[in-house]
């Protein structure tokens, strides 16, 4: 899934009117603005050969494209580039007089609908959004997933099913499984999220008999058997600090990481990132683990870990090898801001410490 980031927005201007609108937007957002050679001004970049060629290039490396021009022209240019609604960038079209801002592509997961509303507010324009949930003033499961930085097993089909149920006036419950969080005092601030159309369920023991489906926000690997179809939404909250010997195999790392997650009953989708010491930056097993789990691989300097190692038991072997007496625990401490979970796994030259990110 892609999430729109302000630093990765590209704007395409085809007329002097487009240039004027882009300048208005530049005041509010960090944008990369493209235009033709004849319209080139300071703060703008020339098209790489043509408008269409520049859009093709930008489609691969920007998370949001804003075209100030005709919708039909934009559709013809991006049509051959479309791959997947979960990874395509947001595409927004603005007419050159700034009267309408149109969410054209990746409205929910890509963030085009949110971006459309924001740009319309900046320009005093009408936002044009056609996704069924938004038209009916309902939340959408994929939008909630983006807000929570969450994933689901069989994400595509689950989103299609639940969103269709919402717009069809079926009753879809929403249960916040606060008990799945590692720290009892920690709770999801559910009122921060758009849940319009969902029916809040306070307890899995008291599910209304007329409910058609239930979305459960949870970190648990297993949920109890329930009488309604259940769709589990898993926020990415768990981080893993990992220490290992040189050339430790990916197979061993993934086996032990899964073992540690299972030990504390976490769904593997709850993993947010893995981390280690900087000398492991090119460790192939860890890099492959990061790719397989689809999470970032973060590394920390020896000095950063030394500042935290007094909190944990130290190994002289590790100190002589790495330069610091412990790796997985101080890494997990830094990644989770001190919120560690349970005991460290120590097997076959590998250490894994889990933490929960807030």
Over its length of 358 residues, how does the chain's per-residue pLDDT go in tens digits? Answer: 333 444 589 999 999 999 999 999 999 998 999 999 999 999 999 999 999 999 999 999 999 999 999 999 999 999 999 998 888 999 999 999 999 999 999 888 888 888 999 999 999 999 998 888 777 788 899 889 989 999 999 888 999 999 999 999 999 999 999 999 987 777 888 888 989 999 999 999 989 999 999 999 999 999 999 989 999 999 999 999 999 999 999 999 999 999 999 999 999 999 999 999 999 999 999 999 999 999 999 999 999 999 998 999 888 888 888 888 899 999 999 999 999 999 999 999 999 999 999 7
Q: Residue 169 corresponds to which tokens in the numbers above?
A: 């006036």
The three-state secondary structure class of 66 is strand
Helix axes 51-61, 71-78, angle to 10 degrees: 60
- Collect all residues with Cβ–Cβ distance below 8 Å to 65 and sequence separation of at least 6: 9, 10, 12, 55, 58, 59, 78, 89, 90, 91, 92
Q: Residue 340 corresponds to which tokens in the numbers above?
A: 């560690």
d(CA 315, CA 43): 54
Residue tagged 């921060």 (tokens): 192
- Give the global pTM: 0.79
Instruction: Give pLDDT, residue 110.
Output: 85
d(CA 66, CA 115): 10
d(CA 297, CA 152): 21
């Amino acid at each position: 899934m892609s999430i729109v980031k302000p630093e990765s927005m590209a704007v395409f201007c085809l007329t002097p009117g487009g240039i004027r609108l882009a300048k208005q937007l530049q005041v509010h957002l960090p944008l990369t603005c493209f235009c033709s050679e004849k319209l080139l001004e300071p703060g703008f970049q020339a098209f790489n050969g043509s408008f269409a060629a520049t859009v093709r290039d930008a489609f691969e490396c920007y998370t949001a494209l804003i075209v100030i021009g005709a919708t039909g022209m934009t559709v013809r240019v991006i049509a051959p580039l479309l791959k997947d609604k979960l990874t395509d960038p947001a595409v927004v079209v603005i007419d050159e007089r700034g009267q309408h801002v149109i969410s054209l592509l990746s409205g929910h997961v890509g963030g085009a609908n949110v971006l459309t509303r924001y740009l319309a507010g900046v320009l005093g324009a009408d936002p044009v959004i056609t996704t069924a949930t938004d038209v009916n003033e309902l939340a959408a499961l994929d939008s909630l997933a983006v807000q929570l930085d969450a994933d689901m097993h069989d994400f595509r089909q689950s989103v299609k099913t639940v969103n269709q149920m919402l717009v069809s006036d079926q009753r879809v419950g929403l249960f916040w499984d606060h008990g799945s969080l590692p720290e009892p005092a920690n709770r999801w601030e559910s009122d921060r999220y758009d849940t319009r159309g969902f029916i809040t369920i306070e307890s899995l023991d008291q599910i209304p008999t007329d409910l058609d489906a239930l979305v459960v926000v949870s970190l648990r690997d297993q949920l109890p058997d329930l009488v309604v179809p259940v769709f589990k939404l898993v926020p990415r909250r768990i981080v893993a600090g990992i220490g290992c010997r040189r050339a430790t195999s990916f197979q061993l790392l993934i086996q032990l990481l899964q073992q540690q997650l299972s030990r504390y009953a976490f769904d593997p989708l709850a993993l947010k990132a893995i981390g280690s010491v900087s000398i492991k930056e090119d460790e192939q097993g860890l890099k492959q683990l990061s790719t397989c789990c689809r999470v970032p691989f973060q590394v920390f300097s020896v000095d950063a870990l030394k500042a935290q190692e007094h909190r944990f038991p130290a190994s002289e072997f590790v100190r002589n090898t790495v330069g610091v007496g412990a790796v997985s625990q101080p890494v997990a401490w830094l990644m989770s801001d001190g919120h560690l979970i349970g005991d460290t796994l120590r097997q076959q030259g590998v250490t894994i410490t889990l933490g929960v990110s807030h």
